[in-house]
Amino acid sequence: MAHWFHRNPLKATANVRFIIKVFSNDGQALKICSELTQTRNSLLELLCDPSHTVTAVETALNNYMALLQGLFIAPDERGGESKLRYALRFRWTNSLLGSTPSSQQDVVFELVSVCENTAIWLMKHAAVNAGKDEVAMEEAKEIHKCLRKAAGIFRSMQEQYASQLMEKPEPGSDLDPRVITCYINQCTAEAQEVTIARAIEQKHSPSLISALSNETSKIYTAAADTISSLDPSKFGKWKKYFQLKSLFYLAYAYCYAGENLLAQEKCGEAIRALQESDKYNKLTGKLCKEYAQMKGPGTSAKPEQHLFFRKLGPIVTRTLDKCERENGFIFHQRVPYDPPELELKATYGLVSPEEFKLPTISPMWTPVTYAAFDVSQINPLDPANSNAAAKAEGDIPPVQEVNVQPTSKDPKNTSGCNIQ
C-alpha cells in the first residue's frame, strides 16, 4: 500500500455576503464586494477535492487574498490598518473541534482561517499523490514541495497574523499556538519522510539515512508533546499518529546505524543497534493497532497493513541475523549493554518550511473606491458579534470532501514507500 499520512478534516465556514455600506452607489466598490464573494466561493469549492492542481488552488487563493487585503490594509496614501477590517463577521469551524464554529468580526480571522484551510488542502493533495500506484520523480518533488508550502503557510499565520487578533484563541482551535506548531512539525516531518524514502531508493549512505530518520523521529516527538495538554477525545488520535511515526523512524535510525557499524566492522555495536531497532519496530506495531482502534477526527486506516510498516521488520531481522552470524564466525566482539549513540544531525536533506507571502493588493482597490465605503456604524465589540452569538446561530455542517482512496498495491522497491 501507499506511504501513509494522517489527515484531519478541512475547516468549514458559513457563507459570507460582502455587504458593506457605501456613501454613494459607487460601481467599483460594489464590484469589489461581488468579486470578494465569487473568489471566496471559488476557492472553497476547489478545496473540497484534493485532486485539483496546486496551480488552480494557489491561483484561487491569490485572487481572493488580493481583494481581501483591501479590507485589512488601507489602500490609500496613508496605508496602515484598513477602516474595513471590522466591517464583517466570519464563522469558521476548527479542524479538530467538530461543527461548532468560532466567530470573529475581523478580516484577519478570515485571512488566517482561509490560509490554514489551504495548507490543510496542500497536505491532503500530497497524501493523494503519495497514494498512487506509481509515483514519478516529478510527483515525488510535488509531494515534498506541497508539505513545505503547507508548513510555510502555517508558520506565516502563526508569526505574522494570528497574534494580531483581539480575541484570545480557544484551546484546541486552529488559532491555538500549540495546534499551529503541531501542523508545522507534521508537515516538516512528513516532507523528511519523502527525503528518507528517496535516500533509501538511491542507496545513500546508511549513516545519512540513520541521521535523517533520527531527526524525523524527534520532530514527530515534538509534535506529540505540543498537543499533549489538549483534550484526548479530540486530539488523541492525532497524537497517537505522531507517537507511532516517532517510534517507527527511531527503529529506522537504529536499523541503518547498525548497517553503518557493520560496514565499519563494529559488529558488536551493530548487533546492539539492530536489537534496539527491533524493539522499537515491535512497539510501533502495537501503536499502529491502537491507532486503528481509536475514535476521533482524522484518517481511518490500519497502518500496520501498509508495506511501508511491514517491510522494516524483515530488514531488521535479516541484517541482525547477518551480524550475529559474522560476529560468531569472524569478529567475536562483545555486544554492548547500551545502544550506540545515533547521529545528531544529518549532513543534508533536512527540510525547512517554504516562505509564504500574500499577493499584492488587487488593482481594483483605489483610494477613491476605498473612500466610498461607510463604516461609521461598525462596532466589532458588539455582543451580537461574539462567539456566543455565533454558537446561538447553530453549527456549521462539515465540508463534503472528495475521498480519494490510496492504492492497494504494494510498491516494488527497497523503501516500502511508493515514492520513487
Task: Report the 3 state secondary structure along 332-377.
Answer: CCCCCCCCCCCCCCCCCCCCCCCCCCCCCCCCCCCHHHHHCECCCC
Phi, psi of 13 (to 5 degrees): -140, 155
Give the range among 52-66, 100-114, 302-316, 323-337 with minimum mean pLDDT: 302-316
The predicted pLDDT at position 419 comes to 39
Residues 6+ apart with CB under 8 A from 308: 1, 2, 3, 4, 415, 416, 417
User: Rounded to whole angstroms, how far apart are CA atoms 158 and 311?
Assistant: 38
Q: Is pLDDT at 383 greater than 80 in this prediction?
A: no
pLDDT band at residue 412 using 50, 70 and 90 as cut-offs: low
The predicted pLDDT at position 133 comes to 66
pLDDT band at residue 386 using 50, 70 and 90 as cut-offs: low
Average pLDDT over residues 148-165: 97
CA torsion sign, 133 to 137 to 138 to 139?
A: positive
The predicted pLDDT at position 37 comes to 97
Q: Is pLDDT at 406 greater than 60 in this prediction?
A: no
The predicted pLDDT at position 29 comes to 92
Q: Describe the chain by its helix, strand, coil percentages, rounded to 5.
A: 55, 5, 40
DSSP-derived 3-state class of residue 104: strand
Q: Is pLDDT at 364 greater than 60 in this prediction?
A: yes
The predicted pLDDT at position 377 comes to 75
Q: Is pLDDT at 391 greater than 80 in this prediction?
A: no
The predicted pLDDT at position 86 comes to 94
Q: In the numeric block, which cell numbers belong to residue 364?
A: 481594483
Q: Is pLDDT at 418 greater than 50 in this prediction?
A: no
The predicted pLDDT at position 390 comes to 58
Q: Which of 228, 227, 282, 223 is nearest to 250 (CA)?
A: 282
pLDDT band at residue 416 using 50, 70 and 90 as cut-offs: very low
Q: Which of 86, 90, 74 is nearest to 11 (CA)?
A: 90
pLDDT in tens, 271-290: 999 999 999 999 998 888 88
pLDDT in tens, 198-256: 888 888 999 999 999 999 999 999 999 999 999 999 999 999 999 999 999 999 999 99
Cβ pair 284, 253 in contact under 8 A: no
Cβ pair 339, 214 in contact under 8 A: no
User: Rounded to whole angstroms, how far apart are CA atoms 70 and 372?
Assistant: 13
Q: Is pLDDT at 318 greater than 70 in this prediction?
A: yes
∠181-184-189 over CA atoms, to 5°? 125
Average pLDDT over residues 261-275: 90
pLDDT band at residue 150 using 50, 70 and 90 as cut-offs: very high
**pTM (2 decimals)?**
0.92
Q: Would strands 90-92 and 102-104 be described as parallel, antiparallel, or unpaired?
A: antiparallel
Summary mean pLDDT of the chain: 88
Helices 107-130 & 137-156, crossing angle to 10 degrees?
Answer: 160
